[in-house]
Structures are given as C-alpha cells and as structure tokens.
Structure 1
C-alpha cells in the first residue's frame, strides 16, 4: 500500500537523520541515551564509544571507523529500498548491522534506524519472522529511551503486530495492535492518518478472528475521542 510505504520511508528518514546527528556527537560526553525533541523527532547523545577510562585511542578510532562505514552502508540500503531494490537493501543492511553492533553495542539508540530499515526489507520480501524480531528490538529500544507511551513505541508495535498477524498468530497480534492503537490515539488523536491506518489494520484482524461486529463497530466509532470506547469492548 502506498500510504504504508510512504510512512515507512518517513520513519526511516527520521531514524537515519538521528544517526547522522549521532555521528557528529560521537565523542560528546553522555548525560543520557536520548532526548525527545518537542517536534517529536529524537536526538541522540552518543557518549563515549569506548567506555569510561579506557584510554585506548586505537580501539576508539577503530570503533568510530566501523560506525562511519555502517552509516554509509545504511544510507545506501535506504536508497536501494526506496527505489525498490529489496535484494540490494537486504545485503547492505546485512553488512551494516554487525558493524553498528560492534561499534555501539546492541542496545544503543543509534541502531534503531538500520534495525527498522532492515525489518522493512524483510517485511517487503515476506520474511515476516525475521522482520518481527527486528521490530521488537526497535520497540524495546524506543521504550527504554522514551517510555511506554511514546509514539515511536506505538509505531514499532504496529509494525510488530502486522508481522505477527502475517504469520497467522492472530490472537497475539490482537494484543499488540490494541496497545499500538491506544498509543496512537492518545498521542496523535483519532483522526490522524497514522492512527486511522492502525485502526483499519486492527479492524481487519478482528474480522479474521470472526469478530466482524466488533470490527464494524470499531470503524464506526473511529471519530470518537474515547480510547475506552474504541478498545474496551474488543479487549475481552
């Protein structure tokens, strides 16, 4: 769907922009892993790449070089994905992710961009099990940085729910969609196109669970400001 594709592209651009900011802050002292800007974008604080008191300039430089190389590969992967070259994008992300993890560690916030990009590739290629693993990692990192109710968490959860549903695990996907929808409604409002998209996906899932009346009622009440009305009756 073109709307979903555009949304994924916007998210990848935002995450990779944060990576570019992070590359300029590599040697800055870290007070926290990340800070959420008022605009809704996030800005990373890179911190020391070698750990406190290591003093090993050679290791520092090697890790920085790995980070820079991984960043270039990620940007190339995004360009490949945007032009529809999924195979090229997958190969580039496969090179970039180990370098990011080697340079930054597996839980550094700057890794969310390539994680989400690689997950988008796997989803586009129908490799939903692999996409699910990466989307769950993105959701975890976002939650650690921004809290449980942040829209970045909601977006990652919506992507996770979609991949879980595409594997036929509808019951599990239902709970994830409910949390994602609640975050979208509380953060963006019920009329935001991103909220409507999650609502429609969740309604489609309810239909697959033979809960058509709930699905139709959910769509009919889509303009209601009450999350309890939208989710309460389908939560059982």
Structure 2
C-alpha cells in the first residue's frame, strides 16, 4: 500500500536577495504539496506577501500572476496555476526586468509539474532557475540552496540516492552558514534528509533528524503551525515502517487536524492525510476503519483534483490492495484497473506508479485463475522497471562525465 510522504519547502527572505537594489525573491512560508504516489522530502514554493499591487507596470503584473498562480497551486487548482505561472514567466522575460524574476517563475512552474508527478518537465526548470540564481546571487545564497533542495527531490524520486544525499547536504550546509542552526528554514532540509534516510532504512539517523526539525519549527512557529504537518506525517511513516503503530497513529491524527484547520476539510492535503491513516489501519488489520478512511480520502481527492488525478489513482490502488487482502479478488482487480488507466493518463505509460498498478492487476488476475493475463501484466511491470533502471544508470553516467568535464512506502 502506498503512503504519501509530503514535501515541504524552503523559505527565502526577500530582504536577503537584493543585488544592485533590485527586488529578487520572497518565500513567506513552507509549502505542503501533494502529487505522486510517494513524495519524499520537500520542495521550494514561493508566496509573495507585499499587499495589493498595481497591474499597470510589468513588474507588478509579474508579481500579480506569480501570487495568483502560487495560490491556485496551493489550493490544488493545477490547470489554473499553470496558466498563471506561464503568464508570470512571460512577464519576467520583459526587456529590462531582472532575470531573477525568470528564475523564480521557472522554479514555481517546476514545482507545479513536480507535485503532479511530472518530474521530467520539472527538472530542467529547476536547473535553469539554479543557474540564474547562482550567477546572480552566488552559489552560497539561500535561493541557490532552495533550488538544490528541489533537484535533490527529483533525484530521490528517480532513486538516485547518492546524488540526492549530495544535493541535500550541500543545500543544508549553505543554509547553516547563512541562516544559522536554529533557523526554521533549516528544519525543512533536516526533514528532507531524514526522509531520504528513511527510504534507505537508516532509521536512527532519520528519526533524529525528524525530531530535530520538529523541535525547531515548534519553538519558532508554535505547536499548530502548518509547517509541522509534513514533518509529523513523515515521522509517522517512519514509525509505521518500523511497526511502531501506537506511535504512528497520533502523529497521523495530528497531521490531519493541522491540515483541516489550515486548509479546510476538502483539500488535496487532507486526502493525503486520510490515505496515510487508512494505510496504517490496513496494516493493523482494522479493515472497517481502513475502508471507511480510504473512501473518505478518495472523495476528498476527487472533489479537489478531479477523478483522473494521479492521487486518485494512488488511493484506488490502496483500495484494491485492501480488497485483495480480504479475498475480494474481482473487486480488487476492478480498483487496480481504474488506477492503471488514471496513472497512465496522468503520468505516462512508463512511470513506476503504472508498474505498481500492473503488479496489483497481476496478483488479482492470478488469484482469479487468469494466469495468461496475469503474466502479461507482470511482464509489463517488469519492463517498466527495467527501463527506469537503465535510464537512471545512463543519467548517472552522464552526470559523472559532466562533473569531470566541469554534476510509496
């Protein structure tokens, strides 16, 4: 079953990002985004909080589009967010405008694609943003650290763990030097590195980093701040992975309470929290609680993102697994089939989440006596994983040459 680990973002203070008097970038808060079946660590997400602006000047139009686009993305209105962020990028390229505005637009558009699981589209946007920020602000600037963090997220989701750790550590080192060890922004990097260690089963290191991140945010922002939710969610995931269910459940419940209080009861992040709580009930054998909570998660996800969103496919896959575990193989197959269709449309035919749905179909078909069909599903899933592994190996080889020449649970 797929628990969803929620990304969080770095904040970069606009006052720290001036060069020659030009205003650069402002991120007023951590983000709490959702996207693919398994999300790890955190992403940079920028909000602008300077009050009303005029629509007369190009710079004002840029900021207006950015602010509206980020707000639409935060509410899960992804089509609207894409339109607004593309407008912001066009405005940022107006002659005479500082190109750090283009970097900010590129980064935010990358995040929009990222939280939808469109990693191949997000990565080059992050890379372009990083290149601009390093050129204009320097490689030791918090903005550069934030872009490195987002690229580390992509590397982790591509299972390039060594590259992800290198980028996370570089990003953390920059922020420790520039912001100080007790700064709440540092908690984001600690959470992200902890999530990488969780995936690698480096449990003691992961737990220590999560607890340090939570302590920093609670001290700086209070016990109900929305920035805590993704960190609580991820620590709960670690405890669930360890079989420490009694510790995991109150953390998932607290995550949900924070998100409902901040975002309302119908929001993609609430669907994520419900999915994760349902998966915990499932592991504990609390079938009725798991089913009820998955149904609620599915309802919220469909209401906020639509019936064809990747998150809906993830939850449907979990519903299928629950049915399979109860011996309802025909019902399980039906859920997996719908999950497969959604993930193929949302993510493309070669995504690992498509392989996960195919694995479920293979299991259910085999139990229904449909052996030939099960073998076809299993073979296709294996083929996807082989192509992904080969693609990652080729990417690692290319990165190595460049560096020498010059980088669901």
For the aligned residue pairs, the C-alpha RMSD in angstroms reads 3.6
CA distance in 1, matches of 2:5, 2:335: 21
Q: Is the 8 A contact 2:6 2:233 kept in 1?
A: no
Task: Say whether residues 1:157 and 2:320 are aligned partners.
Answer: no
Shift of 1:40: 4.0
Task: Say whether residues 1:170 and 2:329 are aligned partners.
Answer: yes
CA distance in 1, matches of 2:30, 2:341: 31
CA distance in 2, matches of 1:81, 1:34: 23
Counterpart for residue 75 of structure 1? 231
Distance 1:80 1:148, change over 3 A: closer
CA distance in 1, matches of 2:276, 2:267: 16
Counterpart for residue 357 of structure 2? 198
Distance 1:71 1:163, change over 3 A: farther
Match for residue 125 of structure 1 among 275, 284, 293: 284
TM-score w.r.t. the length of structure 1 is 0.64
Shift of 1:158: 0.8
Per-residue CA deviation, residues 84-105 of structure 1 (Å, 9 max, x unaligned), is 2321111333455456546654
Match for residue 111 of structure 1 among 255, 267, 270: 270
TM-score w.r.t. the length of structure 2 is 0.40
Distance 1:161 1:67, change over 3 A: farther
CA distance in 1, matches of 2:318, 2:379: 24
Distance 1:103 1:146, change over 3 A: closer
Counterpart for residue 143 of structure 1? 302
Per-residue CA deviation, residues 102-121 of structure 1 (Å, 9 max, x unaligned), is 66543233422322221232
- Whose Rg is larger? 2
Shift of 1:178: 0.5
Counterpart for residue 61 of structure 1? none
CA distance in 1, matches of 2:304, 2:370: 36
Task: Say whether residues 1:12 and 2:5 are aligned partners.
Answer: yes
Per-residue CA deviation, residues 6-46 of structure 1 (Å, 9 max, x unaligned), is x63xx3224x66x9536998x9997794222641416xxxx
Q: Is the 8 A contact 1:174 1:205 kept in 2?
A: yes
Segments of 5+ residues of structure 1 without an aligned counterpart are 43-64, 225-236
CA distance in 2, matches of 1:31, 1:210: 47
Distance 1:211 1:163, change over 3 A: same
Per-residue CA deviation, residues 189-229 of structure 1 (Å, 9 max, x unaligned), is 333222112101111011111221221233345569xxxxx
Segments of 5+ residues of structure 2 without an aligned counterpart are 10-28, 34-45, 50-66, 79-110, 117-221, 385-409
